[in-house]
Amino acid sequence: MSARLLDGVATARAIRDELRDEVARLLAAGRRPGLGVLLAGDDPASAVYVRNKTRACDDLGLRHETLTLPNSATTDQVLDGVRTLNERPDVHGILVQLPLPPQIDAARVLGLVDPLKDVDGFHAENVGLLVQKRPRFVACTPAGVMELLKRNGVALAGRRAVVVGRSDIVGKPMALLLLHADATVTVCHSRTADLAAVCREGDVLIAAIGRPGFIGRDHVKPGAVVVDVGINRIEDPALARRLLGPGRLLAFESKGHALVGDVCYPEVREVAGALTPVPGGVGPLTIALLLRNTVRAAGA
C-alpha cells in the first residue's frame, strides 16, 4: 500500500483563487487589504518566510509593508513597531514574524497587537474566542490543516485524532479545531508514556513536534490520515538517507541540505492511508490562510 498524497499546493491555490473575488470587491469599494509585517533579527529562515508571504500578497493584489528591526532590538522598540501598525488605517492585518530575538518579550509583543488585526490568531482574545467556538482569527497553520482535511473529504466527526505537539502556535489550536469538528482528541508531548502506542490510536495523526523524521511506521495506525506540520532543515547524510527518497537524496547530495518534516516519509507512506508531503503539504496552506485572514480583516 502507498498513501494517497494530500496536495497542499493545489489546495492553497484554490483558496487564493476563491479570495480574488473578495479582493476585487474590496478594491472596487476603495479598500485595498493591507498586511503589516514586523521582522526583528537576522534569522535567515524568517527572512525567507516573510518573502514568501509578501510575494503571495503581491499575487493576490494585497498591499504589504515590512518593518525591519536589527537583531539587537529591544522589547520596547518592537512594541513601538506594533503600536505604529496598530494605528495605521491602511494596515488591516499585522504579522509578527516568529521567532523574535531571545532578549525580546514575545508574549508582550503579541499581546499588544490589536485583536482585530491579529491575522496570526495568537492574541489571547482570539485564542479565547476559539476556545468558545466563536472564532474570529485562527492560527494559520492549524486552520490550513482543517481546510486540507475538509477539501480532501477526510471525515472527522466521531473519529480519533492524535496531535503530537502542544505549542500555542500549532498543537493547542489544532486540538481545539479538531474537537470543534467532533473528533475525539488526544494531545501528546515529550512526556507522553508509550507515545507510539497512543499515536496508533489515531484515525488522524497530526505531527507537530519539530523533530525530523520522528514519526515512523510504529506510530501510525494502518490506513490513518497523517498530516506532517514539521519543517526541518537537515544536513546529516545518514539522516538524509533514512528520510529522503531516491530523487530527493540526489538533490541533497548536490546541495548538502534538504527540508523534511516530522514524519519519516518513506516508512509512513507504506502504512498510512493519506499523507502530506514536505515540502508541498501544510506550508503553502499557512500562507493561504494568512491571506484569507487579512482579507477578512479588511472587510470587517
Give me 108's grid cell: 508582550
Examine the residue annotation and report whether 228 is marked as an active-site residue of this protein. Answer: no
| Closest CA relative to residue 161, chosen from 185, 195, 188, 182 | 185
Examine the residue annotation and report whether 221 is marked as an active-site residue of this protein. Answer: no
| Closest CA relative to residue 273, chosen from 201, 204, 228, 224 | 224
Given 53, 117, 172, 221, the catalytic residue: 53
Q: How far apart are CA 140 and CA 120, in angstroms?
A: 6
Query: Which element (helix H / strand E) includes 274?
Result: strand 274-275
Q: How far is CA 17 from CA 24, 80, 119, 142, 280, in A?
A: 11, 35, 19, 20, 18
Q: How far apart are CA 20 and CA 3, in angstroms?
A: 33
Beta-carbon contacts of 201 under 8 Å, excluding residues fewer than 6 positions away, are 160, 162, 186, 221
Given 97, 117, 203, 228, the catalytic residue: 97
Given 114, 118, 120, 262, the catalytic residue: 120
Examine the residue annotation and report whether 77 is marked as an active-site residue of this protein. Answer: no
| Closest CA relative to residue 15, chosen from 150, 126, 133, 139 | 150
Start-end of H helices in 117-170: 124-131, 140-151
Active-site positions? 53, 97, 120
